[in-house]
Amino acid sequence: MPSSRPLAVTALFVSLATAGGVAWLVRAQLEARAATAAVLARAEQLVGAGEAACAAFETVPCADACARAAAIGSLLHDGLALAERADRCRDRAVALEIVGEITPPEGVPGRGRATAARLAAGPALEDRALGAALDAALFRGTGAFLAARSRLEKAVADGLTSPWLDWQLARLALAEARLADAEAALGKVVAALPAFGPGWHQMGVVSLAGGRRDAAIAALRKAAGLSDDPQVALDLARAFLAGEMWAEAIEPLETVLRGRPAEVDAVRLLALAQHNLRRYAAAAELYRKAFSLDRQPRTLLSAVISLHAGGRLADAFELTTALLPDVDRVPETRFVRAGLLADLGRPAESRAEYERYVEFAGARPEEAERVRIARERLAAVR
């Protein structure tokens, strides 16, 4: 009769192996659950942070947290509700990037349209308002102003409110040169979004266009503190120059030129500030640099005027010879040459230059004041 010991040993090993397998399986399941719980906890944290940032209109933190939450959310199986929240968070982030002008609207029409549709179909009023603002931004970005206005008017008629709707109303009004409407909408934007640099920037631009220099300077200073956009610094400098605050304009212009040394508007404006601060040599050098960038005869004529003001008469007169081929476009060149010749002690040549200037420019309305002065000087030497 066969022995039963081998069967008993086999049964023992099977029992042990089965017990070990079950223990391994249980341990693996526990570890998987722990990992899933950790993923869920991290996703919950990111979604919460993203939702809070979006609700506070903090565009960059919203976009960052929501994008990471959505990436984790796509891995979730036991957290479908959380995954849906992550997707909504991502839609808000995409919308805020476009509406807040971090991403140009013309660069993402397909993704933007789909996002706008999902937000507009959502139950939350703030999401529907954001979707309407995004829709308008996308239309405005392609130049379809009528469609953008239609979307915004419908949103307002539906009772939707949001600073981003006001921002789109302001941007549309600016594009259509309706400055009063733009200013009213921008006032709402900066009140609701005090850390939104573009809102302060456009408020400053509108105030300057309306002749309110102090208000423009205050708004543009606020914008400059919130953004390193060179255009903000350039517009702040323009506001200072409009108020003849020559010294104050220097710093923002130099800030622009540190990042964009070939920004010709900044070079010209810096030259203007230096000239009015009686730093004529620096002004002339800057005007020469600007001329090398824009090749505009009037820019070179400004260099001549700075050299003249600084007493460098011979250098100034020599530089006018480069302008003679363009004298038809810049007739005041002859007026400036006549003055230089007089200061150089060459009265006959000065008189002849004044006569040529009056003959050529006498019928031009824009030259009326210089023509009057030239005639007075000709009469004084007869």
Average pLDDT, the chain: 86
Under a CB-based contact definition with an 8 Å cutoff, are residues 129 and 160 in contact?
A: yes
Same domain, 284 and 324: yes
- What's at 32, amino acid-wise? A
Average pLDDT, stretch 250-268?
96
Would you say residue 226 lies in a domain?
yes
* Boundaries of domain holding 219: 197-265
Q: Where are the alpha helices (DSSP H) in 260-367?
A: 264-276, 280-294, 297-309, 313-320, 332-343, 347-361
The pTM is what?
A: 0.78
Same domain, 322 and 380: yes
How high is the pLDDT of residue 61? Answer: 76
How high is the pLDDT of residue 36? Answer: 58
Residue at a domain's end among 219, 238, 265: 265
- Lowest mean per-residue pLDDT among 91-100, 197-206, 289-298, 371-380: 91-100
Same domain, 318 and 349: yes
Would you say residue 49 lies in a domain?
no
Would you say residue 145 lies in a domain?
no
How high is the pLDDT of residue 11? Answer: 53
Would you say residue 242 lies in a domain?
yes
Q: Who wins on pLDDT, 31 or 56?
A: 56
Would you say residue 375 lies in a domain?
yes
Per-residue buried b or exposed e for 313-338, using 16+ beta carbons within 10 Å of the residue's own CB: beebbebbeebeeebeebbbbbbbbb
Nearest-5° Cα angle at 342, 336 to 348: 110
pLDDT at 18 over 80: no
Same domain, 205 and 290: no
d(CA 289, CA 352): 31
Same domain, 289 and 375: yes
Would you say residue 27 lies in a domain?
no
Would you say residue 359 lies in a domain?
yes
Under a CB-based contact definition with an 8 Å cutoff, are residues 176 and 145 in contact?
A: yes
Same domain, 221 and 291: no
Q: Which pLDDT tens digit goes with each residue over 227-249?
A: 899 999 999 999 999 999 999 99
Q: How many residues does the chain have?
A: 382
How high is the pLDDT of residue 110? Answer: 62
Residue at a domain's end among 205, 238, 265: 265
Nearest-5° Cα angle at 229, 228 to 231: 140
- 193 φ/ψ angles, rounded to the nearest 5 degrees: -125, 70
Under a CB-based contact definition with an 8 Å cutoff, are residues 199 and 189 in contact?
A: yes
Under a CB-based contact definition with an 8 Å cutoff, are residues 284 and 310 in contact?
A: yes
**Close Cβ partners of 310 (under 8 Å, ≥ 6 residues apart):** 280, 281, 284
Same domain, 258 and 313: no
Same domain, 381 and 295: yes
Q: Who wins on pLDDT, 299 or 18?
A: 299
* Per-residue pLDDT band at 124 (split at 50, 70, 90): confident
Would you say residue 301 lies in a domain?
yes
Same domain, 213 and 294: no
Same domain, 239 and 296: no
| Number of compact structural domains in the chain | 2
Query: What CATH number is given to the structural domain containing 228?
Result: 1.25.40.10
d(CA 93, CA 105): 14
pLDDT at 71 over 70: no
- What's at 337, amino acid-wise? R
Same domain, 360 and 283: yes
Which tokens is 154 given?
């419908």
How high is the pLDDT of residue 96? Answer: 84
* Per-residue pLDDT band at 15 (split at 50, 70, 90): low
Q: How many CB atoms neighbour CB 253 within 10 A? A: 28
How high is the pLDDT of residue 16? Answer: 45
pLDDT at 33 over 70: no
Query: Is residue 106 classed as helix, strand or coil in its secondary structure?
Result: helix
Residue at a domain's end among 238, 265, 292: 265
How high is the pLDDT of residue 12? Answer: 47
Which tokens is 142 given?
């392609």
Under a CB-based contact definition with an 8 Å cutoff, are residues 323 and 346 in contact?
A: no
Same domain, 303 and 332: yes
How high is the pLDDT of residue 39? Answer: 61
